């Protein structure tokens, strides 16, 4: 007697079709092992959602587990004041671990036995990047994720970045392979996910960027910028901060371009500038030019030797809080970095040295038209750089109104001052206590 072809049979056939499509262009055994591994990973990932979670336990981390910094650092301090919660900082960096341990904070190494236990128990994760980059995503996935992100930047990231794995597949034509890869990329998330935004215009593209529900985009500002308005949040820093406080500072903070990822070579940041000519001009006005490259570019420059008013602090990236440097900067020079959107809250001049604009835009898609959200002179070579900077040193600031307009693009009026307290209250009342 011939049996009917039921739904279960269909699913088995479909599974074999997917496996066939995945193996046809590679060695069958290697691809089969990958499929089995991912299937097991997915089963464990979803299975661990069934474990009970302790809503009083909150894990914090930042910067892919490499530093004690950013929005989560300031929220960590705020939550520590509340005896209802156990707050633990999770890190991959032994220096961070030792430093926080010495200060009496509860801290744990990510991959330690205790760290894994905590990730299985914690009810809430507060972090600044993706789950896979900052936690053991399989162990932690059953928790609630609150992603504070690490700046309101220009370039598209995650699901809206076609150069990323997730963005590549979500934007590709419908197919079984697309469905499979989008599912796999989707494991880079917790059971419930929130992301903190800063304005209505920014919130508009966050659901597609982070693949969260619209009502899980929280327009609450950036906690790290509270230090601009509250001196009590400043921590003891090294002599570099005192240097910033006691001098007139022009800070050059270029973004990470990732042009030389395959070549593994240093990025050529700002090499077109005639630094000797710049130094002479700075002497005239009594300013110091400070170079702080992105943390992925920490090689100090030899060409600054003998130029006392040009200082490269790139090697000190992890020792300095960028928000404090911005707080005591008089003029910011950048290109495509999110640091300038923070700096807008201080209403001081910004200059954009975008000598490689076409090359950058060819590599990265951005969320806004560049000219629409860059309220300052845009310069493309050394002569323009020095000429426009001198105008600013002379007090010729023609962009104040534009800065106010762009500040409203990136920060709603209610987010242009201190926000830590309302962030903490929202997370407690609307996320933790409602579980």
Same topology for domains 48-151+189-226+418-432 and 238-413, yes or no?
A: yes
> Where are any strands of DSSP class E within 269-406?
287-291, 310-312, 331-334, 350-353, 378-379
Quote the pLDDT of residue 1.
Answer: 42
Measured in degrees and rounded to the nearest 5, phi and psi for residue 168 equal -60, -45
Residues in Cβ contact with 26 at an 8 Å cutoff, skipping those fewer than 6 apart: none
Quote the pLDDT of residue 388.
Answer: 98
**Hunting for tokens 């040193």 — which residue is that?**
393
Measured in degrees and rounded to the nearest 5, phi and psi for residue 350 equal -125, 140
Quote the pLDDT of residue 242.
Answer: 86
Q: What angle do CA 223, 52, 34 make, to 5 degrees?
A: 85
Closest CA to 422 of 89, 198, 86: 198
Quote the pLDDT of residue 412.
Answer: 98
Domain boundaries, the chain: 48-151+189-226+418-432, 238-413
Quote the pLDDT of residue 111.
Answer: 96
pLDDT along the chain (435 residues), means of 10: 55 62 61 84 93 97 94 97 98 95 97 97 97 95 96 93 93 92 94 97 97 97 97 76 92 80 54 90 96 68 78 72 94 96 98 94 93 97 97 96 98 98 98 91
- Identify the DSSP state of 229: T
Quote the pLDDT of residue 264.
Answer: 46
Top-level class of domain 238-413: alpha beta
CATH topology for the 48-151+189-226+418-432 domain? Rossmann fold (3.40.50)
């Amino acid at each position: 007697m011939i049996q009917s072809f039921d739904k279960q049979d269909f699913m088995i056939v479909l599974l074999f079709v997917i496996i066939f499509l995945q193996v046809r262009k590679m060695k069958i055994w290697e691809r089969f092992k990958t499929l089995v591994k991912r299937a097991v990973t997915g089963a464990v990932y979803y299975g661990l959602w069934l474990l009970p979670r302790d809503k009083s336990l909150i894990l914090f981390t930042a910067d892919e587990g490499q530093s004690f910094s950013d929005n989560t650092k300031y929220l960590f301090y705020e939550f520590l004041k509340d005896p209802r919660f156990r707050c633990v900082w999770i890190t991959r960096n032994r220096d961070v671990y030792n430093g926080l341990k010495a200060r009496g904070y509860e801290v744990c190494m990510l991959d330690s036995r205790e760290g894994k236990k905590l990730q299985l128990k914690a009810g809430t994760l507060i972090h600044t990047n993706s789950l896979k980059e900052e936690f053991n995503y399989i162990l932690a996935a059953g928790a609630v994720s609150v992603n504070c992100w690490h700046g309101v930047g220009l370039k598209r990231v995650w699901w809206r970045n076609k150069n990323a794995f997730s963005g590549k597949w979500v934007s590709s034509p419908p197919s079984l392979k697309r469905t499979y890869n989008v599912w796999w990329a989707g494991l880079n998330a917790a059971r419930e996910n929130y992301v903190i935004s800063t304005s209505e215009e920014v919130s508009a593209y966050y659901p597609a960027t982070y693949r969260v529900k619209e009502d899980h985009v929280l327009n609450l500002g950036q906690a790290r910028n509270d230090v601009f308005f509250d001196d009590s949040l400043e921590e003891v820093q090294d002599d570099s901060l005192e240097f910033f406080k006691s001098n007139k500072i022009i800070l050059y903070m270029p973004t990470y371009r990732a042009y030389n990822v395959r070549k593994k070579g240093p990025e050529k940041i700002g090499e077109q500038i005639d630094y000797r000519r710049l130094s002479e001009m700075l002497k005239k006005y009594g300013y110091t030019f400070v170079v702080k490259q992105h943390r992925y570019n920490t090689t100090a420059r030899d060409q600054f030797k003998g130029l006392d008013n040009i200082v490269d602090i790139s090697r000190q990236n992890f020792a300095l809080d960028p928000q404090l440097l911005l707080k005591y900067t008089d003029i910011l020079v950048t290109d495509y970095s999110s640091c300038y959107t923070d700096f807008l809250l201080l209403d001081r001049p910004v200059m954009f040295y975008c000598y490689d604009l076409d090359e950058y835009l060819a590599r990265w898609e951005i969320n806004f038209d560049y000219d629409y959200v860059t309220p300052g002179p845009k310069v493309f070579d050394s002569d323009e750089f020095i000429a426009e900077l001198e105008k600013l040193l002379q007090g010729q600031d023609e962009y104040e109104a534009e800065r106010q307009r762009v500040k409203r693009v990136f920060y709603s009026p209610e987010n242009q001052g201190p926000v830590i307290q309302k962030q903490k209250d929202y997370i407690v009342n609307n996320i933790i206590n409602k579980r």
